[in-house]
Structure 1
């Protein structure tokens, strides 16, 4: 016999089925600091009678501590979980809460209002169907209101509620509500929201939160909870073409081979024809397998394993799609990028890009414009700082399958990962593919790198000398090349100062220009290696990420990092060009070792002690390495 839950009319299985049949709404609360976001969520939970007795007791006790013995309940304490949040009365991290009513299930994200935590708000908006944007009735529309509205629109949030909070503090004024509504409509007119509802509320007092307020007879619309229960969401994923990124290839034995993943959009049935987006290979679905039983139909959000009628090649990161509506496949695209890291984003710097289950190397090749989120103007930019948003062009190491973000949020979004720290540094929304790569192909050449190397009787390599200004790297590189020349070796030396007289004469010494400086030199070095030359590069190259980028352009064994390890004190003592003295006087900005950083190599192939050895002895160490590794 089924166990009875609360009501004698519902068994356990009936109760669970009832919950399963309810639709789910994901929404977030956002807005400026102290607009009452956490209080609103606390009030929703409290008025919906969704708190346990121990939670209520804790809430009442903590509220008394906050108000020095007062009896008023502080509903924000239900959501603000971090100690720093409770001390300051603000939200810092994204707090997620689940609750349910008789009509619908909800997952709500309470996002912070401070400008420095804008990235947290973007995180909450990325999975939301609806945004509740709070505005303090006394303050009206603030810059953060504009910023959060723009980000919600950019991230594809379809439904918006403008909750004019603290209406009790302006005497429930209809005029004040109308003024704020008009101001919001004016600046948000270009946003493509599917639905919009403005509601005057008092989260603290409960007016128009779960029930209609009797103190605002002039307002004829629904309460907030009524609107949340009734808004229609989630149909887009069902009507969109079928997409399923492959999580892994399921091969428990020799008789079974399936492709596991979660359906991103569309529906799938046995007998449907699907295609691997990247390769174009197609087959029919033989079965849809789950842990419990085979399915006759799979819907968005279902975790499934599909078996195919034919043996086709697909692996983790590939995308199965419907045959009639295939996604784009390209190695270049344009996308909006929200930058989430303290360190600036610089074009040309290499990052990891993760889209679905696929991870590739990527660079931002161009910042087309930066968006001023307060005025929505398009501005020129050479880099991106924390929380800034830009429209950029991306180049990837290999083609990937994707849809425009507005067509499919699941397959049109990606994150950028710092290759050194493995931290997520950016979130992107793809707008369209850049088709230039389809018209540019590698030209087959009869004389290749191997043929050129054999003619010269040497193995080509890049000797990358790095170190502080004055460390002696150019001197050592010059001696090495001179001795290689005497041995009959074919060489080319690229020196930092010399290159800036020609190839890189248009670049300065900002961090962005330094990244581009190294990128160009790395590309030229690769061409010299293809020519079969032993190439010597003498550049400060202060950033480890750019040295890593240069290394990855070449084949294994073709890049030798040589760290000329000379202390900054010794470099200052030498100061052959008087640069340290100028930097100390403030006449030379962004000078490495003074007011710009230098990241020492962690595992260089060769480390030269520039403090204690002569340039001739250091050069000899390099020559011995080359001979030992068989470069001639």
Structure 2
């Protein structure tokens, strides 16, 4: 869950405003068409791509351009009409840059959705106006809530097929708002759209003059995400010790990594964990220049005033506000492989830049993500299931609760025999 497809730190440092959002929807809700519409109307499609899609649509006998062809890249996805794997799409407007994590909606691909949504600032859930809320719609909202995605948009799609009915929109709006009260969703926006015709996607719909809220694109461009990250608790997991071999910089020693929380400034008193050695920040470097401060998710090199022992896997934090090293981890885990997770199982664990081994002490319950029921009798987790698990690690981890910091509150579990990622975890607490 710590892996990301692009260096957002570099984007932030370059002064770009970046929004990551994950999409989810049931089969035929029009998710791929919506993404195609966003790409097309934001001028992110090359002319030859559009011509190819138009030609394919014509050959199929469609009297419209099938925008889903722009996004369903895998042949098996196109043949089945479903999205299987997470696909990342990139586009920009004059106001903001975007990374779309196009996630699958099927229950058997829950692990894929968890992966795509784990780094998202916003979750976009599509529902078909004709079908209303489905079990899958509720499940997607539950997963986004578990992953602490701070902003949620419910896009009521295919309004053109229900004659742009305000009554149907209001019914779905009320039903979902009521359901969302059970979840941790700080910011919810419900928008009626027609992805096929473009109503309320980028331009306002003349067919729904009863709707006074923002278009989808306007909301994506203006939703405030800068304050969503933890800017209080300074966290800097060390990824690499920088020691240039050139004569010019032979005395240089810095620590490279991505800021996971708080704001770092030269002169700050810091502690290096788990050793407990203290020092002050001498400088913060980016390429060929020094910075006056660094904040999430910037990737920088930190220099310390003292020559203390620091290596990959250590964490630099403030002296009076440091995470407590813990080997007993209480977490929610999404299990991602066919062989079930069982007590006494041993796995490798990777948390930020730190790697160790973990023993499964106990499985407290399995969570039914459709009903939020806790199955206390379950003593294992199957593929795509989520449950609360107690772990004991061989090395102390420097965790924060996931609700406080998604970067330092998440980890992955790895099968030591195959090297495959088999679980993704969200820390409840450490002891």
- The answer to whether the superposition gives a TM-score over 0.5 is yes
TM-score interval w.r.t. the shorter chain?
over 0.9
Instruction: Say which one has the larger Rg.
Output: 1
Aligned equivalent of 1:556? none
User: Aligned partners of 1:19, 1:303: CA distance in 2, in Å?
Assistant: 8
Aligned equivalent of 2:300? 304
Q: Deviation at 1:251?
A: 2.6
Aligned equivalent of 1:392? 389
The answer to whether the 8 A contact 2:133-2:176 is kept is yes
The answer to whether the 8 A contact 1:129-1:158 is kept is yes
If the length of structure 1 is used for normalisation, what is the TM-score? 0.64
1:285 aligns with 2:291: no
User: Aligned partners of 1:236, 1:60: CA distance in 2, in Å?
Assistant: 40
Gaps in structure 1 of 5+ consecutive residues: 1-16, 435-632
1:414 aligns with 2:408: no
Q: Deviation at 1:199?
A: 0.7
1:80 aligns with 2:77: no
Q: Deviation at 1:86?
A: 1.1
Q: Deviation at 1:62?
A: 2.4
Summarize the Cα distance change of 1:320–1:421 in structure 2 as closer, same or farther, 3 Å threshold: same
> 1:153 pairs with 117, 140, 145, which one?
145
Q: Spell out, residue by residue over 1:320-363, the C-alpha distance to the aligned partner (whole angstroms, 9 max, x if none).
A: 11222111210001111011111111111100110011111002
Q: Spell out, residue by residue over 1:556-577, the C-alpha distance to the aligned partner (whole angstroms, 9 max, x if none).
A: xxxxxxxxxxxxxxxxxxxxxx
Aligned equivalent of 1:71? 63
Residues 217-228 of structure 1 correspond to what in structure 2 (within 5 A)?
A: 217-228=209-220
User: Aligned partners of 2:326, 2:416: CA distance in 1, in Å?
Assistant: 22
The answer to whether the 8 A contact 1:39-1:203 is kept is yes
Equivalenced residue count is 416
User: Aligned partners of 1:55, 1:238: CA distance in 2, in Å?
Assistant: 40
> 2:170 pairs with 154, 178, 194, which one?
178
If the length of structure 2 is used for normalisation, what is the TM-score? 0.93
After TM superposition, what 4+ stretches of structure 1 lie above 3 angstroms from structure 2? 17-22
User: Aligned partners of 2:401, 2:395: CA distance in 1, in Å?
Assistant: 18
The answer to whether the 8 A contact 1:129-1:234 is kept is no
The answer to whether the 8 A contact 2:12-2:18 is kept is no
Coordinate RMSD, CA, aligned: 1.7
Summarize the Cα distance change of 1:323–1:339 in structure 2 as closer, same or farther, 3 Å threshold: same
The answer to whether the 8 A contact 2:21-2:100 is kept is yes
- Tell me the SS of whatever aligns to 1:152: helix
Aligned equivalent of 1:497? none
The answer to whether the 8 A contact 2:237-2:257 is kept is yes
1:109 aligns with 2:105: no
1:347 aligns with 2:329: no
Q: Deviation at 1:18?
A: 12
User: Aligned partners of 1:255, 1:49: CA distance in 2, in Å?
Assistant: 49
The answer to whether the 8 A contact 1:22-1:103 is kept is no
User: Aligned partners of 2:229, 2:169: CA distance in 1, in Å?
Assistant: 35
Aligned equivalent of 2:357? 361
Aligned equivalent of 1:125? 117
- Tell me the SS of whatever aligns to 2:427: strand
Aligned equivalent of 2:291? 295
User: Aligned partners of 2:193, 2:262: CA distance in 1, in Å?
Assistant: 38
Summarize the Cα distance change of 1:394–1:184 in structure 2 as closer, same or farther, 3 Å threshold: same
User: Aligned partners of 1:371, 1:301: CA distance in 2, in Å?
Assistant: 31
Summarize the Cα distance change of 1:196–1:234 in structure 2 as closer, same or farther, 3 Å threshold: same
- Tell me the SS of whatever aligns to 1:402: coil
- Tell me the SS of whatever aligns to 2:398: strand
**Which structure ranks higher in relative contact order (CA pairs < 8 Å, sequence separation ≥ 6)?**
2
Summarize the Cα distance change of 1:19–1:216 in structure 2 as closer, same or farther, 3 Å threshold: farther
Q: Deviation at 1:294?
A: 2.3
User: Aligned partners of 1:39, 1:240: CA distance in 2, in Å?
Assistant: 40
- Tell me the SS of whatever aligns to 1:393: strand
Q: Deviation at 1:221?
A: 0.8
- Tell me the SS of whatever aligns to 2:28: coil
Aligned equivalent of 2:4? none
Aligned equivalent of 1:383? 380
Aligned equivalent of 2:52? 58
Aligned equivalent of 1:533? none
The answer to whether the 8 A contact 1:238-1:267 is kept is no
